[in-house]
Structure formats: structure tokens, C-alpha cells
């Protein structure tokens, strides 16, 4: 037992998880480029990101065609791609991006292990994290593709960890959770709802936290500490859109909303009544509602 490294002895499951994930993904970094293009970066949305990022890096601004400005992207992923595609090579950025996605996969697995460990045994937490990292149906959506999904799920799980661990009596802890919630919003814009509900849950979870002072004063203070930084980021993003592109929201979201008014659209439909909205959760139509992702 004395020959076992201290880190492995103290944290066997995270170390094993790290080694397995990195070893199994290592061949991807040295695979032929045709494999990367056919089996890894296999969505057209990825190349809308890649080309726009390269145009920004080469001084053509936020454009896909070098002419018309566009804001049809999730900003945090785009800003991560810009320095990668500033590299003057066609292949190296793809390999570097694959490495980033693999590290995000690993980071999410470790965070998921930590989150699951709060309620289950280390073995169950290990299997849960490993399943997330390697199951094809999850891997193809979160690690392959080249879009924002890998960064998104990493930040969502990080936010869930922070919400579970944050003590409302700790000012820095609440502010850090708010910063992570803001980054989660920038990673995927519809996460604004998750970030908002997360703040409400944080307050409700510790509704009568001992030592927090006057109950309502403490709740108001936590609401300010969490929601003000988040709101500032949302307003700053919308202001940037309005100044730079003449619209508060990304054009991609506007198009999807318009498509939703057409029959047989993959983007669902705009509900006219509350019953329309609630009906999608109990329908037996597998093509709409949350069941479409299963």
C-alpha cells in the first residue's frame, strides 16, 4: 500500500476517471483530418462558428461571408473560438479545439462525480460520471459537433455544484455563484431561465439559515448579491447587440421563432394560450415537447 501514490490513495475514483477519459480520447488528437471532419466536427452549425471566428480573428468582424454582420451565436463559445482560429493553419485549430472539447468532457465528468457524491456512494458517482463521458448518445451531443454544447454542459454542472455548496452567509460565495450563472447564460442564452431559477432556489434552500441575521434582510441581500451581477451581464449583452447589430437579441433566435409559426417546423410552435403550452408536456407526440430529446 505504501507504493501507491498519495493522490491515488486519497482520490482513487477521480484519478481513475481522469486516466480513463484521457486515454480513450487520446487517439482523436492524432487522427487523420478526414476523421475529424466526418466523425467529430460533423455539424454545419460548427462551421458557421469556425468561419465567423476566423473572420473576426483576421479583421473582418463578426461576419460569416465577410460582408454582413451577424450575432447569431452564443457569445462565450464564439469568444473562446476566436484565438483558436486565429492560428494561420487549416488543421491545427481543429486538433486544438478537439483537445478543448475533451478537457471540457473530463471537467464535466469530474464535476458530475462531485455532485453525485453528495447523495450516493463513490462507486455510483464514478459510474455516473463515466457514463456521461462515454455513452455515445451523450458524447455525440456534448463532446463532438464543435458547437457550444460541451462548454454549456460544463458550466451547467459547475453551476449546479455551486448552488449546492453556496452558503448565503458568505458574500464572496454568493457573488462567485452569480458570476458562474452569468457565464452559463453567455455559454447558451436560454440558460438565463436556469440562472434565474437557480437564484430563487438558492434563497429558498436556505430560507432560515442560522446566523444570517434578520430573515427578510438576509434574503434581500442574497437576492441583490446574486441577481444584480447576473442582470448586469444580461443587459450588457443586449446593449452590445443593439449597438453592434441593431437588435437586442441574436438573429438566430429570431429566425427560429419565425420558423415556429410555420407548419411542421422542427422548432415547435408559439403557444397562444396557457393550455397550448402545458399540453406539450402531456402529449403523446414524440416530436414536440421535452420528450423529443429522449
DSSP annotation string for 160-226: HHHHHH--TT-HHHHHHHHHHHHHHHHHSTTHHHHHHHHHHHHHHHTTT-TTS-SHHHHHHHHHHHH
Q: Is residue 137 part of a domain?
A: yes
Q: Is residue 80 part of a domain?
A: yes
Q: Is residue 176 part of a domain?
A: no
Number of domains in the chain: 1
What pLDDT score was predicted for residue 130?
Answer: 94
Q: Is residue 177 part of a domain?
A: no
Q: Is residue 278 part of a domain?
A: no
Question: Could you list the residue range(s) of the whole structural domain that residue 107 is in?
Answer: 1-165
Q: Is residue 6 part of a domain?
A: yes
Q: Is residue 93 part of a domain?
A: yes
pLDDT, one tens digit for every residue, the chain (294 residues): 456 667 666 778 999 999 999 999 999 999 999 999 988 998 889 999 999 999 999 999 999 988 989 998 999 999 999 999 999 999 999 999 999 999 999 999 999 999 999 999 999 999 999 999 999 989 999 999 899 999 999 999 999 999 999 888 888 999 999 999 999 999 999 999 999 999 999 888 877 766 666 677 878 888 999 999 999 999 999 999 999 998 888 888 777 777 767 776 666 666 677 777 777 677 766 666 555 555
What pLDDT score was predicted for residue 52?
Answer: 96
What pLDDT score was predicted for residue 287?
Answer: 61
What pLDDT score was predicted for residue 168?
Answer: 81
**99 closest CA partner among 162, 157, 31, 167:** 31
Q: Are 280 and 268 in contact (CB under 8 A)?
A: yes
Q: Is residue 139 part of a domain?
A: yes
Amino acid at each position: 500500500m505504501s507504493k501507491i501514490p498519495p493522490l491515488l490513495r486519497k482520490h482513487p475514483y477521480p484519478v481513475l476517471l481522469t486516466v480513463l477519459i484521457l486515454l480513450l480520447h487520446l487517439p482523436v488528437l492524432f487522427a487523420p483530418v478526414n476523421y475529424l471532419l466526418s466523425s467529430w466536427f460533423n455539424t454545419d452549425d460548427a462551421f458557421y462558428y469556425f468561419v465567423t471566428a476566423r473572420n473576426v480573428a483576421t479583421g473582418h468582424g463578426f461576419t460569416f461571408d465577410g460582408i454582413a454582420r451577424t450575432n447569431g451565436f452564443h457569445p462565450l463559445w464564439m469568444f473562446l473560438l476566436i484565438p483558436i482560429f486565429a492560428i494561420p493553419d487549416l488543421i491545427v485549430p481543429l486538433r486544438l479545439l478537439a483537445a478543448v472539447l475533451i478537457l471540457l468532457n473530463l471537467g464535466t465528468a469530474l464535476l458530475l462525480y462531485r455532485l453525485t457524491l453528495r447523495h450516493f456512494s463513490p462507486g455510483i458517482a464514478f459510474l455516473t460520471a463515466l457514463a456521461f463521458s462515454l455513452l455515445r448518445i451523450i458524447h455525440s451531443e456534448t463532446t463532438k459537433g464543435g458547437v457550444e454544447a460541451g462548454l454549456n454542459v460544463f458550466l451547467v454542472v459547475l453551476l449546479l455544484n455551486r448552488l449546492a455548496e453556496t452558503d448565503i452567509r458568505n458574500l464572496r460565495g454568493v457573488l462567485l455563484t452569480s458570476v458562474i450563472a452569468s457565464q452559463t447564460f453567455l455559454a447558451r442564452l436560454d440558460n438565463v431561465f436556469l440562472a434565474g431559477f437557480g437564484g430563487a432556489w438558492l434563497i429558498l434552500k436556505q430560507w432560515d439559515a442560522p446566523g444570517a441575521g434578520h430573515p427578510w434582510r438576509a434574503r434581500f441581500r442574497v437576492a441583490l448579491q446574486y441577481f444584480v451581477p447576473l442582470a448586469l451581464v444580461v443587459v450588457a449583452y443586449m446593449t452590445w447587440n443593439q449597438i453592434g447589430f441593431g437588435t437586442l437579441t441574436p438573429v438566430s433566435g429570431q429566425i427560429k421563432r419565425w420558423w415556429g409559426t410555420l407548419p411542421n417546423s422542427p422548432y415547435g410552435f408559439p403557444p397562444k394560450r396557457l393550455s397550448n403550452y402545458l399540453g406539450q408536456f402531456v402529449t403523446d407526440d414524440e416530436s414536440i415537447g421535452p420528450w423529443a430529446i429522449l
